[in-house]
Amino acid sequence: MTTPIVRTLPKPGRRLAVLISGRGSNLRAILDAIRTGALNAEVGLVFSNRRQAKGLRTAKRYGVPTAVLSHRAFRNRRAYDARIVKLLREHRVDVVCLAGFMRIVSPVLLDAFPDRVLNIHPSLLPAFQGLDASCQALDYGVRIAGCTVHFVDETLDSGPVLLQAAVRVHDEDTHETLAQRILSVEHEIYPRAIGLLLDGGLRRHGRRVLLSGAAERAPADMPTESGRRPTHAR
Ligand code: GRF
């Protein structure tokens, strides 16, 4: 077996596009982190495939440009993604953040932004890929659930992991309470993961993303009763 080489990921520019299909609470967390200075970035475009996505209203409230384009008007995924890439280029986007974007992206988009497309998923991947991940976790009976920020590849919820955070499952949990606790941790780790990528120094070793060269070291979170992130000794 050959050992994969360690490759430093190029430091991207700081202009983000956030791609959404619905509520947009992760979008809001990213915009809030930018506003408070916790994340040094700007959102150049919020894109949605659904006109009724609530997150579009959030984008407008924060004064961020939006674009909506239904995939239905396109003959296939590649043609749709080519149009999205054109839009992203027009808005001088450096990094693409999927945040509840309910579409699988094709190589057309991934090749246009190599190592620069991120997604957040409400489970500790590779467990519970696909829809309703927190329901899957509760029904399976795991004691620790969580969320993952990962680089996107062509397969659903399977690209290299950048950050994860764990959330303890309580006996009293329902689908809703667990999903909500995971979501509040998502709001912490997504801006943080984006910051790690933007600050540069991340390295790839096969599937592994090494954080030790990054400006901020960010160990995976440990579970706590409240589901919030504890303070780590660095
Ligand atoms: C989040 O749970 C995220 O992990 C998943 O889709 C949901 C989007 O929620 N990919 P929101 O639109 O950011 O509120």
- In this model, does residue 127 exceed pLDDT 50? yes
Among candidate residues 27, 36, 5, 30, the one with its CA nearest the CA of residue 197: 30
Tens digits of residue pLDDT in 80-91: 999 999 999 999
Tens digits of residue pLDDT in 211-224: 987 755 554 444 44
Look up the pTM and report it: 0.91
Tens digits of residue pLDDT in 160-209: 999 999 999 999 999 999 999 999 999 999 999 999 999 999 999 999 99
Cα(144) to ligand 1 centroid in Å equals 19
Cα(54) to ligand 1 centroid in Å equals 12
Among the atoms of ligand 1, which is closest to the Cα of residue 20?
12
186 lines ligand 1 (CB under 6 A): yes
| DSSP label of 54 | T
Backbone region of residue 37 per phi and psi (left: phi > 0; alpha: psi in -120 to 50; beta: other values): left
Q: What is the DSSP string of 75-101?
A: SSHHHHHHHHHHHHHHTT--EEEESS-
Task: Report in angstroms the alpha-carbon separations of 25 from 22, 70, 168, 215, 216.
Answer: 9, 21, 21, 27, 24
Tens digits of residue pLDDT in 39-58: 999 999 999 999 999 999 99
> Using CA atoms, how far apart are residues 109 and 85, in angstroms rounded to an integer?
6
Rounded to an integer, the average pLDDT of 144-148 is 98
Helix/strand/coil for 122: coil
Active site residue 121: yes
- In this model, does residue 228 exceed pLDDT 70? no
What are 140's two structure tokens? 């399976």
> Which residue CA neighbors atom 14 of ligand 1 most closely?
25
Beta 144-151 vs 161-168: how paired, if at all?
A: antiparallel
Task: Report in angstroms the alpha-carbon separations of 89 from 16, 64, 114, 146, 165.
Answer: 11, 16, 14, 33, 32
> Using CA atoms, how far apart are residues 109 and 92, in angstroms rounded to an integer?
14
Side-chain-side CA neighbours of residue 187 (13 Å): 17
